[in-house]
């Protein structure tokens, strides 16, 4: 079994604040490493402490700039392996490229699989990530992968604030029904689904709500918010079907393009997100957003992996 003093945690520039919080949770200091770039843009990494024989965890979300942070992680993994770390775990609080998980038409790549191959080829021994866009991506890796669910963090917060009263959990599309059903079951709440359909060519989408939301507080559950276009339409549909209030809950606040404007001009009362991706000051100061930290969840998972304990038991329902 690994010993406590053999644990080392390092961060790329995509997860500095989260890594600091994770280290505080598990009672250690972030490892010393230079992660910068040369004048031509090439990434420079140097681990500045002894890690031979150590259990090393390298934390970096592949958040914007996605390619830069991905390369940081790959180079960190290579540096750790070449420094003779005993085991290297790549920790991706947010796994970018996860939406490119299949060939939906001819002559397109499966980039999520390519990224999995790159992480493995760099020398990672295992991977730890949170709320993959598609659960099947776990099968893209030929090394062990621990897939954490942020649902427990959000559920506990809702319960502590008493927001589960008269609540219906909403799946924003058919593809997210499975996760929404588990979340609703954890809270003991009913489930409804927002279905979008296009009646015919060149006719705008119609949003239909399957399930009873009239007179209820509603919570739209998703893994990420990108431009927030679909989220805002779903929220409007819920109000049209009689919902008292609409909140949203999403693990990864990508928030690209017009996302902030879309949310500010929507019927959404509140948006709960995690710190898997660093938020811009503009978003962090927005009163509609409520940020929950993944540090206790990821920190406990790291501790259990280090001690060879069960990670899945973290999510056992009470």
ω before 53 within 30° of 0 (cis)?
no
Burial class of 287 by CB neighbour count within 10 A (0 to 12, 13 to 18, 19+) = exposed
150 with 132: CB under 8 angstroms?
Answer: no
3-class DSSP state for residue 95?
coil
CA distance 136 to 287: 35
Contacts of 12 (CB under 8 A, 6+ apart): 35, 58, 59, 60, 69, 72, 73, 76
Burial class of 243 by CB neighbour count within 10 A (0 to 12, 13 to 18, 19+) = buried
Residue 264, phi-psi category: left (phi > 0), alpha (psi -120 to 50), beta (remainder)? alpha
Burial class of 128 by CB neighbour count within 10 A (0 to 12, 13 to 18, 19+) = buried
Task: Supply the DSSP symbol for 77.
Answer: H
Residue 242, phi-psi category: left (phi > 0), alpha (psi -120 to 50), beta (remainder)? left
196 classed as catalytic? yes
Catalytic residue among 196, 200, 216, 239: 196
Catalytic residues: 196
């Amino acid at each position: 079994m690994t010993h406590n003093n053999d644990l080392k945690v390092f961060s790329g520039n995509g997860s500095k604040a989260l890594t600091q919080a994770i280290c505080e949770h598990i009672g250690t200091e972030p490892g010393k490493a230079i992660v910068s770039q040369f004048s031509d843009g090439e990434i420079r990494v140097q681990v500045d402490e002894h890690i031979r024989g150590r259990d090393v965890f390298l934390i970096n979300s592949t958040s914007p700039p996605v390619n830069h942070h991905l390369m940081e992680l790959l180079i960190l993994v290579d540096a750790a392996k070449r420094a003779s770390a005993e085991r290297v775990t790549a920790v991706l609080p947010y796994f970018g490229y996860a939406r490119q998980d299949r060939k939906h038409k001819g002559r397109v790549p499966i980039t999520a699989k390519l990224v999995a191959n790159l992480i493995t080829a760099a020398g990672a021994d295992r991977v730890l990530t949170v709320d993959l866009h598609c659960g099947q991506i776990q099968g893209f890796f030929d090394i062990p992968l621990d897939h954490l669910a942020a649902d427990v963090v959000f559920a506990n917060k809702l319960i502590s604030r008493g927001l589960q009263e008269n609540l219906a959990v909403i799946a924003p599309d058919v593809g997210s029904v499975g996760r929404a059903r588990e979340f609703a079951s954890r809270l003991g709440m009913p489930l409804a689904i927002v279905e979008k359909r296009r009646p015919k060519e060149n006719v705008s989408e119609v949003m239909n709500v399957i399930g009873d939301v009239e007179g209820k507080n509603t919570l739209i559950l998703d893994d990420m918010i990108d431009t927030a276009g679909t989220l805002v339409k779903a929220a409007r549909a819920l109000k049209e079907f009689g919902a008292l209030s609409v909140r949203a809950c999403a693990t990864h606040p990508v928030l690209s393009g017009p996302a902030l404007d879309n949310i500010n001009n929507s019927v959404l009362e509140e948006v709960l997100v995690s710190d898997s991706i660093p938020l811009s000051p503009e978003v962090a100061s927005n009163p509609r957003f409520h940020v929950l930290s993944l540090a206790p969840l990821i920190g406990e998972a790291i501790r259990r992996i280090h001690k060879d304990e069960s990670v899945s038991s973290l999510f056992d329902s009470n």
